[in-house]
Structure 1
């Protein structure tokens, strides 16, 4: 599967880019929100060569990771995979998938280094060469992962629907796809798509917002939930002139694969607190924050997501408008 577009990616990321300084836009380095200290601490333990070959846009680390199986689509040099390897712990597992031989070679070279660094008795990580549109071809089995992450990679694919369809297949029921990517305010014309630099830097392959919602619905995911977003700037006058009036945003979304029999009903949830890095509150998306001990009214969709996913043990669930005396006392004590 090396069509013209794929070969451009392999050449650009495998041959042209040697480190993040070679990038001509901030699409692949745009921070969307402050990085929590526990993630920063894990990133500091990643080998410098791995980190220097990192080209992602923002940080893609959802909450509640202990013991989870995580798949990173377009893992590159493996920076995020190694950070996640520490966060999931010895009982968790991380797989990095990338189509670029040079990047996978870098990532594989440091498995032993990081296992010793993290104190793991045996590797809880592996890296495979493959295409994000064909996870089956890379040996990724059905319903085998709790979480899929992707960092500024889906826009590089010529078949984005295939990527999301494959992601849906390999996620367990209740699993989540948590990903950062680039989106445009209107459809991209052919002349921009043919620009190798703009495509390689995640600009001209961007989806429109509306396209993401439509594809997610067709495949069966819950509606996309926006976590963070920020505008992209171009650090090159020539490219800026080519782009013209088109506007691009780097955004993080989360999609959930809900079981077919999941119950959807309005209700109240109370966050128990204690999740690593989110001990007192969880910012679930751009519009919803759960604070420890606080009663929050949620709609049918969010109720089903929390109840069916790895978050189910982190919340108390109760019918809308009702709270036991015990729960009311807990709420008051947290005020």
Structure 2
């Protein structure tokens, strides 16, 4: 399966000649008030053609240069444009002409609505980002929403994303994952591919590919099991559980393979708009304002050497090593854990 098949499938969905058969391409989590407000300023035609599987709204995005991979009709791009503000910018990349036409057709409407123009859309294959006129190490944030599963060479997407990020930049994205590897016989099924199932990465393979690309400590933010409402599709994938999950990957060369304890701590100032009470770094790190919060060396760097630094106080250094951080383990999606088994977390 390749990007041509994806274009065909989603083109049919947009034209009304096909329907989606799972909730993979739906966002079910309730957005925060500021995100709901921003979504209200996105054109209804753009929202009506949205097929993401997660909420792509990374914190502290003001002033950031953002790349949206598989930007589709532009909902995430126009949402992020408001979070980035007039000082920031968003570049959307998509390969489906029908979606790009919708996104580009509303550029003027959104510029008037926002009071500034900071969005552009490029036609391109996210497997070939190096063929586009994108400067290496020029983006603060890269996002994607349920598109990496649609491409064949996922490793190249991760490598190219890493190369496009500034030092300390972040790849923040939602996608579909499987609890085991999808059988080879299902990979060429056009419906399963279009429904984001046949291309879903086994979460262990994702972890390996991300680390090989330079993202040394992938962090799970949220996850949920997918519902498959079509009996024929459910029968084809019987025995495999699928999940929508949001991860964040930091472009930090100093991260270690495991969470090491150096006796460090952070204290959140509560200064990120929309997250004044607490910042969720990942599923294991909900850092409340004003509270001394012990962290491993990797988490310390994810805050101290990124856009989050101004929002925290930092305590300790790397002068004394105390071994592995207590409770550190594989950051496996919670809902993917076998029944009755606890899931250990990173820190």
Q: Do the two structures share a fold, i.e. TM-score over 0.5?
A: yes
Partner of 2:106: 110
Residue 12 of structure 1 is aligned with which of 4, 9, 12?
Answer: 9
Residue 228 of structure 1 is aligned with which of 222, 230, 241?
Answer: 222
Cα distance change on mapping 1:19 and 1:317 into 2, 3 Å: farther
In the comparison of the two structures, how many residue pairs are matched? 314
Q: With the length of structure 1 as denominator, give the TM-score of the two structures.
A: 0.90
Partner of 1:35: 31
Is 1:318 the counterpart of 2:315 in the alignment? Answer: yes
**3-state SS of 1:70 partner:** strand
Partner of 1:174: 168
Partner of 1:291: 288
Residue 211 of structure 2 is aligned with which of 211, 217, 220?
Answer: 217
Partner of 1:61: 57
How far has the Cα of 1:98 moved from its partner? 0.4
Partner of 1:325: none
Partner of 1:279: 276
Cα distance change on mapping 1:37 and 1:181 into 2, 3 Å: same
Root-mean-square deviation (CA, aligned residues, Å) is 1.9
Cα distance change on mapping 1:156 and 1:259 into 2, 3 Å: same
CA distance in 1, matches of 2:204, 2:25: 22
User: Does the 8 Å contact 2:62/2:84 carry over to 1?
Assistant: yes
Partner of 2:76: 80
Any stretches of 5+ residues in structure 2 without a counterpart?
Answer: 318-347
**3-state SS of 1:310 partner:** coil
Q: With the length of structure 2 as denominator, give the TM-score of the two structures.
A: 0.87
**3-state SS of 2:279 partner:** strand
User: Does the 8 Å contact 1:76/1:100 carry over to 2?
Assistant: yes
CA distance in 2, matches of 1:38, 1:212: 31
Cα distance change on mapping 1:17 and 1:243 into 2, 3 Å: farther
How far has the Cα of 1:107 moved from its partner? 0.5
Structure 1 runs of 4+ off > 6 angstroms?
261-264
CA distance in 2, matches of 1:21, 1:45: 28
Is 1:49 the counterpart of 2:45 in the alignment? Answer: yes
CA distance in 1, matches of 2:255, 2:163: 17
Q: How does 1:18-29 map to 2 (within 5 A)?
A: 18=15, 22-29=19-26
Residue 191 of structure 1 is aligned with which of 154, 172, 185?
Answer: 185
Question: In terms of mean alpha carbon deviation, does 133-142 or 147-156 score higher?
Answer: 133-142
CA distance in 1, matches of 2:254, 2:231: 50
User: Does the 8 Å contact 1:156/1:200 carry over to 2?
Assistant: yes
How far has the Cα of 1:189 moved from its partner? 1.1
**3-state SS of 1:17 partner:** helix
How far has the Cα of 1:60 moved from its partner? 1.1
